[in-house]
């Protein structure tokens, strides 16, 4: 709608997302091959908003280009002021930081301050309203992945389509379109842009989006559903090794509300029913997650998977804890209905529990995960929960790994000699609880090839496990 009036074609699918970024006012990152009109898009957005625009090439721009030169007179007065140039940032209202992923590390750090807080060298850039940045995809020949901390500062991360991905009509428009940099000597006519009336309408539309966002913020039920969805999304992502921090969750909430606001303003028949907004929320999340900026192998299929299972579990109050099991209470909340609704999530949790038990680190956390393992096995044996056979085998194999002191594990010795030595030394008592604790610690620490035990680690670990299990018994 708006982009075509500006002379931007083939971007209908991302238009609302980019306009949502304008309405919010947070930084936006554009990812696309060369020649995909990233700079032209930003320039025309600035023109449509009646803002002063400049595009900086982050791979070439010197620091002096951005801030100007120190004013000797101000320094003599104990102040730091800069003599502006036509390139300096102080009077710019809308900037594009192009080739940001190709900038040197020190330059990226300086741009980070601009992106994060609209400041440079601690001085506020009073005029600056919008910051966009652009980069080639990490898979692009010669391109660099963006630093994760820098990527984390962009609210929307938008992939720009190539002409190959566009509809034929849009490609024809691009072929015949004239921009200010095209055929300067031919005088082929003026480039397409918003007229005065359209500019007024566009700016009114931005204001209307912001009003709608404030209105949606007051919808208690909608906000509870979005919050629940985002918590599930974050926890499911964690089981897949994807970290989503608090800042990103905060951005995601704003992005979803902004995108929904645009859809409601454009379609008066659209019902504000969370359950009917699944595809729209996915689309907002797809352009909110930063992984495409630094992971060349990341695909939107992963976002779709996380979205679908998170959306399915929005109404399940227990799931927020269950799929990131931290206590036995979380295990006790599991039921076959929750398990059957999305078994892959349960499988991921089982893998995480086993890796935390068998892994070499975090001995202090192992007692808790072993207790969780035993609770899971008890519920399976009691017939309270049902898992797939291969996962039951994985759990029982881990249990055997912890408690079996026999020759079955292909060790040279059964472990009884180590038990006898520690009994004599007074490290353990001759009762069932101490024997069980010794079996666990012994198997966790045993060097499989040499069949030896580090005595210092053994004593330290025995104390950790005893403190945990006996304290629990007292409680």
Q: What are phi and psi of 167, to 5 degrees?
A: -70, 155
Question: How much is the pTM?
Answer: 0.70
Contact assessment for residue 89 and residue 95, using Cβ atoms and an 8 Å cutoff: yes
- Spatial separation of the C-alpha atoms in residues 126 and 372, rounded to whole Å: 55
The tokens for 120 are: 């440079």
- Predicted confidence at residue 408, as pLDDT, reads 43
Q: What are phi and psi of 466, to 5 degrees?
A: -65, -45
- Spatial separation of the C-alpha atoms in residues 301 and 299, rounded to whole Å: 5
**Got the DSSP string for 252-320?**
HHHHHHHHHHHHHHH-TT----GGG-HHHHHHHHHTT--GGGT-TT--HHHHHHHHHHHHHTTT-TTHH
- Longest Cα–Cα distance of the chain, Å, equals 99
- Predicted confidence at residue 453, as pLDDT, reads 66
- Spatial separation of the C-alpha atoms in residues 21 and 116, rounded to whole Å: 15
- Backbone conformation region of residue 57, classed left if phi is above 0, alpha if psi is from -120 to 50, else beta: beta
Q: What angle do CA 273, 248, 315 make, to 5 degrees?
A: 35
**Got the DSSP string for 98-112?**
ETGGGS-HHHHHHHH
Residues 414, 419, 424, 429: what is their CA dihedral angle, to the nearest 10 degrees?
-150
Total length of the chain: 475
- Predicted confidence at residue 260, as pLDDT, reads 97
The tokens for 89 are: 């940032």
- Predicted confidence at residue 187, as pLDDT, reads 58
Kind and range of the H or E run holding 156: strand 156-159
Mention every residue, 6+ apart, whose C-beta is less than 8 A from residue 62: none
Q: How far is C-alpha 360 from the chain's CA centre? A: 28
pLDDT along the chain (475 residues), means of 10: 93 97 97 93 96 93 79 73 84 95 83 91 90 91 83 96 94 86 66 91 97 96 93 84 92 97 94 91 96 85 88 62 69 79 78 81 80 86 86 84 56 58 71 71 62 71 72 54
- Predicted confidence at residue 59, as pLDDT, reads 87
- Predicted confidence at residue 281, as pLDDT, reads 96
Q: What angle do CA 415, 421, 422 make, to 5 degrees?
A: 95
CB count, 10 Å around CB of 97?
25
Contact assessment for residue 49 and residue 22, using Cβ atoms and an 8 Å cutoff: yes
The tokens for 309 are: 């299972």
CB count, 10 Å around CB of 235?
21
Kind and range of the H or E run holding 321: helix 319-322
């Amino acid at each position: 709608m708006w982009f075509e009036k500006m002379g931007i074609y083939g971007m209908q699918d991302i238009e609302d997302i980019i306009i949502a970024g304008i309405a919010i006012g947070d930084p936006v990152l554009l990812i696309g091959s060369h020649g995909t009109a990233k700079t032209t898009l930003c320039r025309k957005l600035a023109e449509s908003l009646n803002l002063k625009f400049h595009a900086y090439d982050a791979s070439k721009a010197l620091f002096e280009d951005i801030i100007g030169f120190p004013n000797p007179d101000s320094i003599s007065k104990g102040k730091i002021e800069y003599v502006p140039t036509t390139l300096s940032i102080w009077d710019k209202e809308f900037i594009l930081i192009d080739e940001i992923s190709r900038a040197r590390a020190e330059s990226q750090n300086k741009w980070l301050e601009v992106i994060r807080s609209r400041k440079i060298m601690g001085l506020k850039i009073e005029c600056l309203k919008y910051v966009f940045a652009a980069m080639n995809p990490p898979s692009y020949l010669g391109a660099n992945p963006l630093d994760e901390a820098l990527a984390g500062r962009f609210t929307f991360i938008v992939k720009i389509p190539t002409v190959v991905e566009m509809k034929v009509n849009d490609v024809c428009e691009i072929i015949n379109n004239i921009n200010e940099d095209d055929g300067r000597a031919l005088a082929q006519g003026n480039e397409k842009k918003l007229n005065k009336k359209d500019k007024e309408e566009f700016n009114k539309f931005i204001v209307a989006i912001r009003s709608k966002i404030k209105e949606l913020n007051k919808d208690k039920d909608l906000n509870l559903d979005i919050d629940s969805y985002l918590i599930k999304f974050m926890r499911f992502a964690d089981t897949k090794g994807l970290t989503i921090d608090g800042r990103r969750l905060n951005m995601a909430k704003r992005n979803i509300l902004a995108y929904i606001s645009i859809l409601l303003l454009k379609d008066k028949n659209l019902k504000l029913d969370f359950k009917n907004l699944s595809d729209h929320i996915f689309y907002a999340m797809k352009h909110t997650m930063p992984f495409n900026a630094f992971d060349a192998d990341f695909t939107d299929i992963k976002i779709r998977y996380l979205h679908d299972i998170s959306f399915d579990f929005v109404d399940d109050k227990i799931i927020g804890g269950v799929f990131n099991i931290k206590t036995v209470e979380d295990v006790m909340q599991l039921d076959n209905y929750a398990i059957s609704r999305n078994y892959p999530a349960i499988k991921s949790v089982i893998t995480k529990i086993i890796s935390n038990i068998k892994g070499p680190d975090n001995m202090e956390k192992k007692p808790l995960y072993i207790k969780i393992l035993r609770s899971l096995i008890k519920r399976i044996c009691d017939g309270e929960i049902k898992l797939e056979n291969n996962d039951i085998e994985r759990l029982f194999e881990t249990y055997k790994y912890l408690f079996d002191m026999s020759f079955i594990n292909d060790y040279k010795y059964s472990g009884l000699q180590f038990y006898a030595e520690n009994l004599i030394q007074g490290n353990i008592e001759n009762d069932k609880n101490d024997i069980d604790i010794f079996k666990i610690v012994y198997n966790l620490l045993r060097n499989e090839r040499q069949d030896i035990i580090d005595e210092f680690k053994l004593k330290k670990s025995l104390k950790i496990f005893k403190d945990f299990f006996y304290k629990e018994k007292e409680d």
